[in-house]
Amino acid sequence: MKKMRGVVVAMTTPFTADGEVDFEALDSETEFLINARVHALYPCGTTGEMLFMTNEQREAVAKAVVDKAAGRVLVYIHVGAARIEDTIRLAQHACSIGADGVGVVTPLFFPLTDRELENFYITVSRSLPQDFPIYMYNIPQCSANDLKPEVCARIVARCKNVIGIKYSYCDMHRTLDYLQVREVREDFSVLVGFDRLLLPALRIGCDGTVSGAASVFPEPFVEVYEKYMAGDMAGAEAAMWRANDIVKKLKAGTSIGTFKEAQRLRGFGGGYVHAPLMEITEQEKELLRKELAMYL
Catalytic residues: 137, 166
| Cis before 129 (ω within 30) | no
Between the CA of residue 16 and those of 20, 269, 285, what are the distances in Å?
A: 5, 11, 19
Nearest by Cα to 42 from 18, 1, 8? 8
Closest CA to 61 of 28, 27, 36: 27
Cβ neighbours of residue 240 closer than 8 Å, sequence gap 6 or more: 198, 199, 220, 224
Q: Cα–Cα distance between 38 and 136 in angstroms, integer?
A: 21
- CA dist 259 and 134 (Å) reads 27
Short-list 56, 137, 136, 128, CA closest to 91 = 128
DSSP bridge partners of 229: none
| Separation of first and last alpha carbons in the chain | 37
H or E segment and range at residue 176: helix 172-179
Q: Return the CA Rg of the chain.
A: 18
